[in-house]
């Protein structure tokens, strides 16, 4: 179980926060599935989709950082409840950079096989991000 916790932290901090895509193969199984926030087509599966997600969030928030608020582990499953922070310096949801800082919550459930992430389910407060940046309904300008 401790190995899975350590691997989950590497996914959070090394893969996402640092954007180190060279770790993708060592942190995920070849048949990795990214279930995401909403059910989607087959394109939502696989390492390529995960790499795309990392690239998109790091382009929008190059100074992205995470703080683990809660970490739960049971068998092959690890859950992270996170606070994320970043400055909007790149494209996001079709909008250009605002230069605004945002803080939001995320929750990720990860299933591991032999120390590698095999499946991931995530929920990100996307509306809250857009509102903080003045881009969404109910935005605080």
Structural domains of the chain ordered from first start = 2-87+101-123 (3.10.450.50)
pLDDT of residue 136: 77
Divide the 141 residues of the chain into consecutive groups of 10 and give the mean pLDDT of each group. Answer: 90 95 96 73 72 93 97 97 98 93 97 96 94 81 58
pLDDT of residue 70: 98
Neighbours of 50 (CB within 10 A): 24
pLDDT of residue 37: 58
pLDDT of residue 89: 97
pLDDT of residue 35: 84
**C-alpha torsion sign, points 70, 79, 129, 64:** positive
Instruction: Give the long-range contacts of residues 10-18, CB within 8 A, separation 24 or more.
Output: 11/110, 11/117, 11/120, 12/66, 12/68, 12/80, 12/82, 12/108, 13/66, 15/54, 16/54, 16/57, 16/58, 16/64, 16/66, 17/64, 17/65, 17/66
Buried b (16+ CB within 10 A) or exposed e, 90-129: eebeeeebeeeebebebbbbbbbeeebbbbbebebbeeeb
Quote the CA–CA distance of 25 and 4 in Å, as a whole number: 16
pLDDT of residue 41: 53
Q: Whole-prediction pTM value?
A: 0.88
pLDDT of residue 26: 96
pLDDT of residue 33: 92
pLDDT of residue 111: 97
């Amino acid at each position: 179980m401790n190995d899975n916790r350590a691997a989950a932290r590497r996914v959070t901090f090394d893969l996402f926060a640092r954007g180190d895509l060279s770790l993708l193969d060592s942190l995920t199984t070849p048949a990795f599935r990214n279930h995401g926030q909403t059910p989607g087509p087959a394109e939502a599966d696989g390492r390529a989709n995960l790499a795309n997600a990392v690239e998109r969030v790091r382009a929008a928030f190059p100074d992205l950082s995470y703080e683990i608020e809660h970490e739960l582990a049971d068998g092959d499953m690890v859950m992270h409840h996170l606070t994320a922070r970043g400055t909007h310096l790149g494209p996001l949801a079709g909008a250009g950079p605002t230069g605004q800082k945002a803080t939001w919550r995320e929750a990720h459930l990860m299933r591991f096989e032999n120390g590698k992430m095999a499946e991931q389910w995530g929920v990100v407060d996307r509306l809250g991000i857009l509102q903080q940046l003045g881009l969404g309904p109910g935005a605080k300008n």
